[in-house]
Structure 1
């Protein structure tokens, strides 16, 4: 085969190679131009030459010019930043709790959690203010530093006992009030600030345990005193009840005696009014056994006068 017959074949190979190169370049450009904004994120398109924001991109597919345009993504869903003593949860290794001093200059360690989100409508301004920094940088500078700084300042107004006790929620609310303002200025929304745990040094733990023990003893004594007072009141009521019952019984007995006495007096009066000489003689006659009266001594008066009971015509034989 001549050299002339080989040349067209070589040109075809070159053409194919160029086509392949162009296809690869096109594929690379298409890949670089095709961007996907994931759900929960907002894309900020900016010009690489002047670093100015050109548009805000919603979640989904989009095509850009990879030579002139780049995209920064910011999440607008709820974010949680935790600073705790346990290394298993915190963002940094080791103890990442917030060290504060109470009004008595006692040191406490507080575990906190901050929930926030990026203002979606201000994502472009966030990018501009922070020079296109990732959210991790913004989180470190704003969420972490502002939370620790404000908490440390306000905690110094409280006693260690109130921070670990009934004022913990109040302290968190005061910190939250200031964080809302600071986050607002930086295009962020503070959703919540929580003091999850208060860690006391050993000496304060012992002091708190002693106080709790004393309070429990006082509460127990108070309860026992209240029970004793209740028992005394019950005994008093029972004693008053018994006394009332005894008074009622005595009054009843007295009334009964009085009624019986009055009844006996009435009976005696009626009996006295009903006793006459004729009735007496009649009763004597009923009880006479027929024997003559007995006289004792000369001229003695008979014990029973039965003269009226004897028939005047009857002769009594001596």
Structure 2
């Protein structure tokens, strides 16, 4: 019986030790997640100069730790109402990335107090972003925001927002502008504008094709003309060279080479006369031709 009682006392003691240990962990240890830093605030000493890096850290029993992300965070704001430069009210979804500059986390804590980063995103950052979006989008028409200038609008909003919050220690990047959601009348105007643009693009494409086909035919015709001209010039040159190479002696020589010696038949007693080339001596003496 005494042993049983001793056992119970021992078990209670162990339990008390465990409870005390858990309380000590609760009071004196805190965990900083990966990609975060912690700012320690003490009711007696205020904000401490040093920040806590990731891991388990020892703090005072009454110290409070506020965690801030130093890795990139993504924030989305949906259904923000904005007016364009042509007076159209549209609804747009936005998204952006940001991270906290590690050297300024104490300043952020002094500005906003011991509130979570999510609360800052939903209050201060959202207000500043809406202001930057309103000023940035108001420079563009609804067609611009809907079409090819949406990225330009996003860059304008990002620059304004980034410049506005960087002094506090927020580094902003990659603002994305979603597809605007206009009212029915505005959507109808957009559809007509898009159809007109597509029709213009189609006609421009057809015109380019026609121009290229005309250029092809012109080049082909020019090539044929050049070919004919070259052939004509070659033929003319050949004729000229042939004409210059012909002489009466050559013609007579070629005639004799092809003559088989037979006289052509002539009815009656007449014998045809054939003009033969003169000898070299007679040609040089100038006595004229002879009859064989």
- Separation (CA, whole Å) in 2 of partners of 1:61 and 1:100: 45
Q: Distance in 2 between matches of 1:74 and 1:41?
A: 5
Structure 2: distance between partners of 1:82 and 1:188: 16
Choose from 190, 200, 205 the match for 1:218. 200
- Between structure 1 and structure 2, the one with the greater Rg is 1
CA–CA separation in structure 2 for the residues paired with 1:132 and 1:248: 95
**RMSD value, Cα:** 4.2
Alignment match of 1:35 (pick from 10, 14, 30): 30
Q: Which residue in the other structure is 1:59 paired with?
A: 54
The verdict on how the C-alpha distance between 1:62 and 1:215 changes in structure 2, with shifts beyond 3 A counting, is closer
Q: Which residue is equivalent to 1:135? A: 117
CA pair 162-287 structure 1, distance change in 2 beyond 3 A: same
Q: 1:314 — aligned with what?
A: none
Q: Which residue in 1 is equivalent to 2:101? A: 119
Q: Any stretches of 5+ residues in structure 2 without a counterpart?
A: 1-5, 253-262, 271-292
Contiguous gaps of at least 5 residues in structure 1:
1-11, 84-95, 271-282, 291-318
Please report how far the alpha carbon of residue 79 of structure 1 lies from its aligned counterpart in structure 2 after TM superposition.
Answer: 1.0
Aligned residues: 251
Specify whether residues 174 and 237 from structure 1 end up closer, same or farther in structure 2 by C-alpha distance, changes over 3 A only: closer
- Relative to the length of structure 1, the TM-score reads 0.63
Q: Does 1:45 align with 2:40?
A: yes
Deviations 1:217-255 (A, max 9, x none): 3333333334434444454555556666389659958x9
Measure how far apart 1:207 and its partner are. 2.6
- In the other structure, the counterpart of 1:206 is 188
Give the direction of change, closer, same or farther, for the CA distance of 1:215–1:25 in structure 2 (3 Å limit).
closer
User: Does the Cα contact within 8 Å between 1:34 and 1:63 map onto a contact in 2?
Assistant: yes
The 5 A counterparts of 1:26-175 are 26-32=20-26, 33-49=28-44, 51-53=46-48, 55-66=50-61, 68-83=62-77, 96-175=78-157
TM-score (normalizing by structure 2)? 0.68
Residues 145 and 153, structure 2, Cα contact 8 Å, conserved in 1: yes
After TM superposition, list the pairs within 5 Å mapping 1:141-290 onto structure 2: 141-236=123-218, 245=228, 252=235, 289=269
CA spacing shift, 1:266–1:234, aligned 2, 3 Å:
farther
**Does the CA contact (< 8 Å) of 1:116 and 1:191 recur in 2?**
yes
Post-superposition shift, 1:289?
A: 3.9
